Amino acid sequence: MWTAPPERDCSWQQDAGPALVLAGRPWAVRLAGRDSAFPALEVYQAGVLLDVVSSTKLAAPLLRGARASDGRAGPCALAWGRLPVTGASPAVDFTLGRRRSYSESGTVLKLTSWCWLAVADGSFDRVAVRCGDRCARAEVHRAGIHRAEIHRAGIHRAAIRRGQS
C-alpha cells in the first residue's frame, strides 16, 4: 500500500489493492475498474469496505458519507461524495455542536473527475458540503468497536497467553 498526504493528486492509482492510505488516519481509498466504462471508488476504514461510489452518468448526491475516528494523530473526520457535472471542487465544512458550534474547513482531495474526498483533524458531529447552488448536510458517524468485540478480543488474547488457541 502506498501512503500519501491528503493534498496529493490521485491520478496514479492502480487496481492492485488500496491505492491511497491517508497517513495517520484509518481510511484508504481504491479506484476499482480504472479502465472500465464505469470505474468505482472504494472507501475503506481499517480494512473494512464502507462505500462504493460509481462513476455512473446518472444524477448523484453531492455527499455520499461521513465518518469520524481516532487515528494515530488524534481524532479526525472524513467525508466523500460525487462531483457535480461541472467538475468543480466542493467546499466542505466540518462542525461540532449546535448552539456555539466550532467549524473547520476540510482539506478537499479531488480523486477523479467525478469523485472527491475531504479530511479534517478534530472531533466533529456534522458536515456541510457546498458547490455552486447545491448544498448537502449530514451527520458524521463515529466508527467504534462494540464492547462485545473488545470482550471477545480479550478472551482470545488470554487463551493465547495460556497456550490455547
- Of 9-18, 30-39, 108-117, 145-154, give the range with the top mean pLDDT: 108-117
Q: Are 131 and 89 in contact (CB under 8 A)?
A: yes
Q: pLDDT digits over 48-81, tens only?
A: 888 998 887 776 789 999 999 987 778 999 999 9
Q: Are 91 and 84 in contact (CB under 8 A)?
A: no
Taking the C-alpha atoms of residue 144 and residue 124, their distance in angstroms, rounded to an integer, is 15
Report the pLDDT value the prediction gives residue 7, as an integer from 0 to 100. 39
Name residue 102's beta-bridge partners: 96
95: closest CA among 64, 65, 122, 131?
A: 122
- Of 24-33, 94-103, 122-131, give the range with the top mean pLDDT: 122-131
In this predicted structure, the answer to whether residue 92 has a pLDDT above a threshold of 80 is yes
Report the pLDDT value the prediction gives residue 144, as an integer from 0 to 100. 59
Q: Are 66 and 141 in contact (CB under 8 A)?
A: yes
118: closest CA among 75, 71, 65?
A: 65
pTM of the model: 0.73
